[in-house]
Amino acid sequence: MTPAQRVAELRRELDRHTRLYYIENAPEISDRDFDMMMHELEELEKAHPELDDPLSPTHRVGSDLAAKGFLQAEHINPMLSLANTYSVGEVDDFVGRCRDGLMGEDFEIVGELKYDGTSISLIYEHGRLVRAVTRGDGTRGDIVTDNVLTIRSIPAVVEGPGIPDSFEIRGEILLPWAAFDRLNAEREANGDSLFANPRNAAAGTLKTLNSAEVARRGLDAVFYYLIGDNLPSDNHYDNLMAARSWGFKVAPHMQLLRSIEEVDTFINRWDTERRTLPVATDGLVFKINSLRQQLNLGYTAKSPRWAIAYKFPAERALTKLRFVSFEVGRMGVITPVANLDPVLLSGTIVKRASLHNADIVATLDIHHGDMLYVEKGGEIIPKITGVDTDARVPEAAPVEFVTHCPACGTPLIRVEGEASWVCPNKYGCPPQIVGRIEHFVGRHMMDIDGIGEEVAQKLYDLGYVCDIADLYSLTEEKLLNVEGFKERSAQRVLDGLKASLQVPFERSLYALSIPFVGETGSKKLARAVGSIDRLMAMSEEELTVVPDIGPRTARAIREFFAEPVNISIVNRLKEAGVRMEVDSSAQATTDRLQGKTFVISGVFAKHSREQYKDMIEANGGRNSGSISKKTDYVLAGDNMGPSKLEKASRLGIPVIDEDTFLAMIQDED
């Protein structure tokens, strides 16, 4: 057998086993045998580069070389939205309209699950995937072929009877619940913001510029529509069955329905059974089966008349309130939390839900032991939406908001004009102190690795860290006395403390937890005042001259530095070497970006987002958090949100990468 013949054989076998494993859930060989075949193919391709093929199984792990962005392509057939409803009655009306539009002709309806992911269009020519395009604005989308090729359940090459020379297949890119939970656990451990739901995670992953990261995250896909000339059948259902035989992962729960009663039964069935699925769903789709009848019914300006989406109501559960706890934040705000009997909701177990403030507790009229309605609607954070008063025990007393701090016993005060109750014992209330320690070491503040919520609490309990300045008095000996610490973890903290001495003043300022002074305000203050000494000496009137510093923030700054304990902490931080003034060498200096507004989104390889913001402002530009007609450029990194990309495209705003931006601010020869 020649090398070319063996390469072709290995590719066919690897593609077949990939299909058996990822699509049919019926593997025939072990993972080890699969890996050995893959290794043999890799070696053959290295020895014979002339046999390389971009669709080879060896290329489907992705590349760690960041792309320059995404090119766009127009859809051959527009990707229209479906009309949708939350009413079973309106679905029945849709069936009636189809009957009228078809002049009483018999018809079948295909019922399908509506998977909650991000839409994709794949173009195949002569059995090979040539282009993958996101929905975009429905007329044109981003070409994401390299990323799609990393998804094992999507065939790069298809074989079988009746395959047209050219066809388009549409589906949904998904992140299964298990992969979603794993990804969010990783992000939480790294201090990154969590994805709100699998849909957002799938969309963000698909737009990641690093295809190796896409491959790692475990995306899946389900297909629901086949388009093209010379299709195998004249109806939707049989065409998808043909696509399944070619190797596509077609929705497994499709069903032919022939009456309104069958449609209603399908809805009732999946309103319950969808909760057991390994992927997120948010509704059902009903389509006329016959392609001829679809053409006869036609389209409105926005959607086909031959299909409708039925959206499930936000998932809701009824569970018992065990008790309400009152938790103290780093700024002293008291938050009531409903502790619940565990309940499965949108794929996760819910045990707690914030009640936010005293007004919401009163509005809901929650009593001890009540049965509470909890909703997630696909989001991460559950919320209490109501009370089943019929299930209330007659003698149950209403939940009353605490009058004293649950941690230190100090009488609470009400924030003027707000719903919040606050513990005023800022410097003696343990949760507030520990909260400030947690904030200080955070990634956007001092970025001290190895100290999280649990470690901060242990350090406080041991008396080693009673305020943020005490962190710089930690030694290896002290750290080794902390439960769970070994030499390596202790050194990790000490290295993090040393590295934090290089953090610029604006982040040191943000790390102090001055009320109403957030990340952006800290940056503006740092640049306006230059040093902590100058800031501490400024009056309220002088502070309000700084851009975006209003009277409330100015007053909070003055009150913060009127406290001797805060002056002491700042002085001890200075003695430890924490930067408390602007590095004049980092200020700058050019007007290359004068008058230009940038929006930064994504994760970058060469510099952090904060550093890019600094560069923009140092060169006369302006940063903005949202895209508008006034935006001049979007600086896009890895994992940029798809909604921002879509909006930039719609407004015609250039999307540039790191290299392009850095070239814009380089000194000219």
What would the pLDDT profile of 166-181 be if each residue is shown by its tens digit?
Answer: 999 999 999 998 888 8
Other Cβ atoms within 10 Å of 109 Cβ, number: 26
* Mean pLDDT lowest among 8-22, 324-338, 349-363, 424-438: 8-22
β-pairing, 281-288 vs 109-115, is antiparallel
Taken as a whole, the chain contains a residue count of 669
As a whole-number percent, the residues of the chain with pLDDT over 90 amount to 48
Taking the model in full, what pTM does it have?
A: 0.55
Domain spanning 505-585: CATH superfamily: 5' to 3' exonuclease, C-terminal subdomain (1.10.150.20)
pLDDT at 639 over 70: no
pLDDT at 287 over 60: yes
- Measured CA to CA, the distance from residue 372 to residue 380 in angstroms comes to 18
| Residue listed under structure tokens 């002049």 | 103
Other Cβ atoms within 10 Å of 650 Cβ, number: 11
* Mean pLDDT lowest among 119-128, 338-347, 351-360, 427-436: 338-347
| Residue listed under structure tokens 């008095």 | 473
Nearest to 360 by CA among 422, 425, 423, 421: 421
Nearest to 311 by CA among 281, 276, 349: 281
Helix axis angle for 198-206 and 177-189, nearest 10°, is: 80
Note whether 319 and 351 are within 8 A (CB).
no
According to the model, what pLDDT value does residue 610 have? 72
Break the chain into its structural domains and give their ranges: 3-59, 84-310, 314-425, 430-500, 505-585, 588-665
Nearest to 280 by CA among 390, 175, 188: 175
According to the model, what pLDDT value does residue 433 have? 95
Top mean pLDDT of 104-118, 571-585, 642-656 is at 104-118
What's the rounded mean pLDDT across residues 378-397? 84
According to the model, what pLDDT value does residue 464 have? 95
pLDDT at 6 over 50: yes
Considering the segment(s) 3-59 as one domain, its CATH architecture is: Orthogonal Bundle (1.10)
Band of pLDDT at residue 192, cut at 50, 70 and 90: low
| Residue listed under structure tokens 């054989």 | 9
According to the model, what pLDDT value does residue 69 have? 58
Phi, psi of 613, deg, nearest 5 = -60, -40
Question: What string of DSSP letters covers 360-400?
Answer: HHHHHT-BTT-EEEEE-TT-SS-EEEEE-GGG--TTPPBP-
What's the rounded mean pLDDT across residues 150-158? 91
Angle at 574 between CA 328 and CA 460, to 5 degrees: 30
According to the model, what pLDDT value does residue 202 have? 87
Band of pLDDT at residue 57, cut at 50, 70 and 90: confident
pLDDT at 658 over 50: yes
* Mean pLDDT lowest among 206-210, 457-461, 563-567, 579-583: 206-210
Note whether 452 and 439 are within 8 A (CB).
no
Sequence-distant (≥ 6) Cβ neighbours of residue 208 within 8 angstroms: 147, 214, 638, 639
- Measured CA to CA, the distance from residue 527 to residue 231 in angstroms comes to 65
β-pairing, 255-257 vs 220-227, is unpaired
Band of pLDDT at residue 84, cut at 50, 70 and 90: confident
According to the model, what pLDDT value does residue 177 have? 87
- Measured CA to CA, the distance from residue 388 to residue 370 in angstroms comes to 7
- Measured CA to CA, the distance from residue 579 to residue 557 in angstroms comes to 19
Of the candidates 46, 68, 114, 647, the residue annotated as catalytic is: 114
- Measured CA to CA, the distance from residue 316 to residue 635 in angstroms comes to 40
- Measured CA to CA, the distance from residue 121 to residue 168 in angstroms comes to 7
Element (H, E) at 507: helix 505-511
- Measured CA to CA, the distance from residue 332 to residue 426 in angstroms comes to 7
Nearest to 202 by CA among 145, 137, 148: 148
**HSE, side-chain direction, 13 A CA sphere, residue 564:** 0
What are the structure tokens assigned to 557, written together?
A: 């700054």
Band of pLDDT at residue 64, cut at 50, 70 and 90: very low
Note whether 305 and 299 are within 8 A (CB).
yes
Could you say which DSSP state residue 62 is in? -
* Same fold for the pair 3-59 and 430-500: no
Sequence-separated contacts (24+) of 272-278 with Cβ below 8 Å: 274/113, 274/312, 275/315, 275/344, 275/347, 277/113, 278/176, 278/177, 278/178
- Measured CA to CA, the distance from residue 269 to residue 267 in angstroms comes to 5
pLDDT at 599 over 50: yes
Sequence-distant (≥ 6) Cβ neighbours of residue 555 within 8 angstroms: 540
- Measured CA to CA, the distance from residue 258 to residue 217 in angstroms comes to 40
As a whole-number percent, the residues of the chain with pLDDT over 70 amount to 92
Helix axis angle for 430-440 and 453-461, nearest 10°, is: 130
Nearest to 632 by CA among 642, 619, 332: 619
Element (H, E) at 4: helix 3-22
- Measured CA to CA, the distance from residue 615 to residue 623 in angstroms comes to 10
pLDDT one-digit tens code per residue, 134-143:
988 788 888 8
What's the rounded mean pLDDT across residues 245-261? 92
- Measured CA to CA, the distance from residue 283 to residue 151 in angstroms comes to 24
pLDDT one-digit tens code per residue, 292-324:
999 999 988 778 999 999 988 777 889 999 999
* Mean pLDDT lowest among 10-14, 31-35, 87-91, 203-207: 31-35
Band of pLDDT at residue 584, cut at 50, 70 and 90: low
The pLDDT mean for the chain works out to 87
- Sign of the C-alpha dihedral computed for residues 622, 625, 629 and 634 taken in this order: positive
What are the structure tokens assigned to 420, written together?
A: 């919040």
Q: What is the CATH number of domain 314-425?
A: 2.40.50.140
Nearest to 412 by CA among 401, 403, 425, 420: 403
CA 315 to chain CA centroid, nearest Å: 20
pLDDT at 239 over 50: yes
Nearest to 19 by CA among 28, 32, 10, 30: 28
* Mean pLDDT lowest among 145-149, 354-358, 430-434, 603-607: 603-607
Q: How far is residue 342 from each of residues 244, 321, 349, 353, 361, measured CA to CA in Å?
A: 39, 10, 6, 11, 20
Domain spanning 588-665: CATH superfamily: BRCT domain (3.40.50.10190)
CATH of the structural domain 430-500, one choice from 3.40.50.2000, 2.20.25.90, 1.10.3720.10, 1.10.150.20: 1.10.150.20
> For the CA atoms of the chain, what is the radius of gyration?
30
| Residue listed under structure tokens 């070389």 | 65
Band of pLDDT at residue 573, cut at 50, 70 and 90: very high
Task: Output 104 or 508, whichever has higher pLDDT.
Answer: 508
According to the model, what pLDDT value does residue 450 have? 85
Element (H, E) at 663: helix 658-665
End-to-end CA distance of the chain: 58
Q: Order of strands, edge to edge, in the sheet holding 316-328?
A: 348-354, 334-345, 316-328, 371-375, 383-387
Considering the segment(s) 84-310 as one domain, its CATH architecture is: 2-Layer Sandwich (3.30)
According to the model, what pLDDT value does residue 559 have? 94
Give yes or no: 114 in active site.
yes
Top mean pLDDT of 271-285, 303-317, 480-494, 560-574 is at 560-574
Nearest to 202 by CA among 185, 189, 226, 183: 183
* Mean pLDDT lowest among 38-52, 108-122, 141-155, 582-596: 582-596
What's the rounded mean pLDDT across residues 265-284? 87
Task: Output 310 or 54, whichever has higher pLDDT.
Answer: 310
What are the structure tokens assigned to 424, written together?
A: 């005023």
Sequence-distant (≥ 6) Cβ neighbours of residue 140 within 8 angstroms: 72, 73, 74, 75, 133, 649
Question: What string of DSSP letters covers 417-483?
Answer: TSS-EE---TTT-HHHHHHHHHHHTSTTTT--TT--HHHHHHHHHTTS-SSGGGGGG--HHHHHTST
What's the rounded mean pLDDT across residues 542-559? 89
pLDDT at 560 over 70: yes
- Measured CA to CA, the distance from residue 470 to residue 461 in angstroms comes to 13
- Measured CA to CA, the distance from residue 212 to residue 147 in angstroms comes to 8
Could you say which DSSP state residue 347 is in? T
According to the model, what pLDDT value does residue 68 have? 45
What's the rounded mean pLDDT across residues 149-165? 90
Task: Output 452 or 266, whichever has higher pLDDT.
Answer: 266
